[in-house]
Structure 1
Amino acid sequence: MLLIFVAIIPVSVLSFTLYKQMYNFVYQSVNSRLAASASQITAELKHSNEILTNGLRLLSEQESVVNGIDDLLYSIHLPDILGNFVLDAPLIESLYLVEADGFVVESYGGNILALEQSNILQQRFTSPFEIKDLESKSKVYLVDNYSLVGKSGQHHSLVHVVPIYSDRAIDRIVVKGYLIAVVPIYKLAEVAANRLDDQESLAVFYREEQLLGNLIGDDAYDVTHASRLIISGRNYQNSVWIKIKVGQRLESLANQVKEAMAPGMASSIIVIGLIIVVVMLFAHLVAKAFGRLYGLIRDFEKGRNAEALNNGKLVIREFADVANLLTEMKGTIGEQLRTVNEKNVELARIDKLRAGYLEEVQNLNSQLEYKVEERTRDLELSMDNLAQSNFFFQQLVQFRRVLEASEGNRQIANDALRILSMCFPNTGLVIHLPQSRGHRMVNDSLSVEVESFEQLSNRVSEKSRQRWDRFSIEFKQQLVNVFGIRCGGGKMGWLLINEPKLSEENSNRILLFITELSAFLENRTLNEELDHVARTDSLTGIKNRQAFDELQFSLETQLDAEVGLFIIDVNGLKQMNDEKGHEKGDQLIISVARVLSDCCEGLTGDFYRIGGDEFAAVLSGEQLASASELNARLAARQNNQVGIDLNSFGGEPLVSFSVGYASTTDVDFSGLYKLADQNMYSNKQRYYAELRQTEL
């Protein structure tokens, strides 16, 4: 019994303590390794997801993919494009190109029927915040559909839906189709498995549901460590949070402890044997001491002499002191071991909390760095756009001043191309301004060669029947933007921008420029039309009395102006109005105006209707030499028939008019009109006197 209490029990307690300490050391080592593995796996998967989302976004902007949805010429390259992308992206199992209505145009490695029946495009994401153009942003879903996953027994997958834009206008974004990439969960697990050793296991969770793996997840069975993985991308409207958990069975942990302690087992056995031998020797000495103690006690009982008693007391006192000292040391050491164990447990709990806090801080720092970087890029882009906008508005103000001083369509076209080239350098520009009153048609270009303006105008006209303000046409084997220019009077011009992809900011600036140009041209056309109407006789279409008065004022202010004036009055107009009606009288005036215009053709362009039946023709400068010729032409057209059907019996009437002429060689300019008018009335009186004699 003494051997058991003195040797075997202390050795067993010491061995057990060493085993527990070794177990705790191995446990902490495994836990730290699992935490590092979880962080590395999450970082690697996050990096792979960023590469995947950026690749899908760039692929959606490729011209072959955008045009391949509805253009057969581009669609023949789609299988190679999709196949090469899937081979370069190890996470993707299948990739689809889908029209906006949900029908698959092309795919690689997937199940087209299963995708079209899955209604993935009909899923909607709701957000408590206002997000601009929510429906036109990329999305990611966790889908439970075994038909979309090629590997047997696996049915969970991440589906990325990336829109393809055909038009990004001011007030809308038109989605032409989608790229749909299927990323099975087992692909993520395969990437993560490369970071694990043979004794470690992996599990993938979504909202506490285990999607893949063989971890039990209970502390009684596994040593586990988890890390969150956010599946999303730039310009995504949502994200999917996945928890990656790695672990190791406690059974394998115990085996590792045994393997770690195996080298010291032989040494421990030798030590234990030596301890037993020593203890046996010590027990012999103790038994001998107890024997002496017992003998002393017996001697005390029998009343032995004091010397023997003193010797016996001395021996017993030393043994008692040693026994008391060992008892106190044992109690002190046991208390210290309990305190150390409690401290170790508390330190382990604190270390676990610290690791969790550090992980949270790292995640927050990563998110903060990403947001700061994104805000910095947005701020730089905003500052650049602001500078471009300020320069554009300065040029727009300058363009307004140039328009006010412009003299015709040619100068307007040149100034427009010059200012636009400064605002949008290295961009080809083509402008067309139609012919209008007093202005000829202009076609001009800058930084781009146009083979045939006529063919280009025909293509623009055909396309503009559907929509005029802004549309796209094919120009030099690419789609370019065309903006309509309203010129007034129902006439339209256009501006072609040889740039397939215009940003929303540049589109708005060009539309503002076009609006300014259209407003000026419409106002110019309206003013010219009003000026024409104000100076044109509505019945005959020739210049009216206002235009005649303005010409007189202009000539009167000129020094030494040589002017000749014909005053012409229609004979018989009152009789025509009384007998045949004013409608026939108006026809007679129109016919006379046509006859007089023919007479003035080639001699003077200043021909006016200044009264009901009174006309005037003005010759100035070198035109005065043609006065006699004009007078001869008027005389030759007297008493000729005009095309007016009075009735079935009366036939056509004969046109007759009285002419009066005066020039500044005979009278001052101030009396010119009066003299010509007097000469006309003298001729009219002579005409009616001869007419009365003829009737008698």
Structure 2
Amino acid sequence: MAFKVRSLLALVIVLVAIVPSITISLLLLDEQYKANDASMQRSLNRALDNTIQDLDFKFSIFSTNFKLFSRERYLIQALDSFLFSSHAFTSMKDFVEQTTLVSSIYLLDTDLQIVEEYQGSIIGLEESELLTRMQAAIDEDDVKDGRQLLFQFKDQRMTSGAEGEQKLSDYGVAVLMPLYLHVLQEGVSREAEGYILAVLPFDAIYKVISAHLQEGEAVEIVQGQVPIAAHPKAKKLRQELDHQMAIKSLKIGANVTENTLEYAIFLHVRKSARMAEMAQAQQTLSSSIIIAIILAMVIAFLLARLIGQPFKILSSVLEQYKAGNYIAPTLRFKFLEFEQVRQLIAGMGDTITRQLTSLKDKNRELQHLSELKDDYLSKLTALNEQLEQRVDEKTAELRNSLSREELSRQFMQSLLKLSIELQQCENNVAVIELSLQLMSDLFPNVKLALYFAPSRYQPAHFSSEGMTLTVQTQLRDELETYSDNRLAQLPKTINLHDAHCYLFHLGSVSNQFLGALVVQSDTLENEQQNNFRLFVKQISAIVETRLLTEELGVIARTDELTGLPNRKAFEEAFDNYASIFERYSDRHFGLFVVDANGLKLANDKYGHQAGDSLLKALAALLSKICRKSDSVYRLGGDEFALLVQKGTLEGCQLLTDRLVQEQGRHSVTLTLDGDKIEYLISFSTGFASTEEYPPNRLFKLADERMYDQKQTHYKMQRLGKTSNAASDSEIDPKNER
């Protein structure tokens, strides 16, 4: 009978555990399938969103870097002189290689003629419609100050990628940016000196997008009904029954350029490929459900067996007592007889266990006392050894401390001597020689080198002590690559031709690289490195002071308003021209005095800001008219001066003719009561040449001739023959002076 009850209980337990589990499992599998389908579509939309955000981020970085690159001074210089073309080419090459989206770049003059290019197609650009569209945009004033303009084009020659890469599109995006000679005040108009054009092929854009795709997926970029870029797999995927697609809008240049190009981007995938990961999760869920059902069955079977095993338990307990294991069973039986037997056996086990525990405790105490004795003896021995070692260490430390104290005293004396003598050095060469001499005396067995980076006014300087010629050459080549870098970006050690070198960089207050002290050594202790760093700080202070002094000298010779050299610079240059003429009488030079017409009227009628705009416009015009070998100066007020090399009477007359031709052809925009007025730029000139007069009479004669021309100008103005007309009471040449 007991067997039947146990079997019935086992059957009931199995049914209660399995039937609800199977029902719930089927419901979970159905919901999981629906959730997988919805999750896949969200995953596709999320992938497109991430792709577009990444592309917008990379384009924003390109736009910012492109704007900064447009201020590169070599680009402006290359427009004026082919001597700077190599520098411009290097800058363009570095920009293209560091920018993922750009495949080629062009430097254009104001007539959109190609001055320099990198990885571009000159014939492709000249024969394309792109130049015509850019010229139309410039004529319509769509190219704003500091803004970039986008053009979509289709030309296989201009969008060719790297050799071996699969070409997906002949389309590309051209980004046009104006170049300016000077950065003017905000709100003041300026004319572009040229343009820089970057080409972004859609192959490069697709390459950025493909980084977000999984294997077997493809993307199409479409504008209206026109396919711009598409992988061949996209067409194949559209024809498959397992195809699924997501669509998003792609805007290139939004918020960072003057205009925006809009496209639609299609993501094509195989549903089975995207669902593979989800199917794996669904399979895992199914496996977990099966395992849970099996576990429920096993647990039910075990419970059924445990219910019918009271005699087996009591028998095993007696066997354990016999073997010396006196652990009583804790299970309470349902029947009274079994429970009484269990309690009797448990009482016997507790008594035996207490007796055994007492014996074990006494044995542990004896063992513990023995261990304490052994531990005390070992600690005493170790303490004696430590005391002896500490005495030896303290003795050695005292000797080293006395030695370091003496070396520190000698080092501080040398450092003080260096600080005093560096201030008396006349140039950077003397600074290098003195520094190397003092450090060689202090560190006689160390190979040293000192390098000063080139500045705007000084070339690079390099010298060494004890290094081989090969190491010197490689070291200088390496250091020359560090210019214009910040200290945090530079290495602390380098290996050159089996020589390990430590670098101690000379830095400015703004952490700009000024040079480096190089120590050739396999290892340097921390104290030695700290000593060299103190030397470097002293040398850095002297080098930066010299740079600041040179910079202040330039500022003192520059007019703040126009950016031209001022009267002080003019007087120094004039004295230099006169000194050369005294030694070489055939080197004639000319002096022009130029005075702005109508400055007082502009100040009185439109305000001094308008007058400043007129002066800056005149300064820019004179700089443009003059040759590169000639110099333009602002002497003060409305008065300018030109120094002309090879200034014979014929040469000065040619310049006068150019100045006359430009009269009346240029204007500056002034504002009166909110209205913009085009104010004609007019000026009076007079010149004198050493071919007819000595240098000390040139300025007076040129000034008189200028004044005569100014009187003639105002006489004609009163007769109504010139622009910017005013009444006699408003303008007087004496007032203009």
Specify if TM > 0.5: no
TM-score, structure 1 as length reference: 0.41
Q: If the length of structure 2 is used for normalisation, what is the TM-score?
A: 0.39
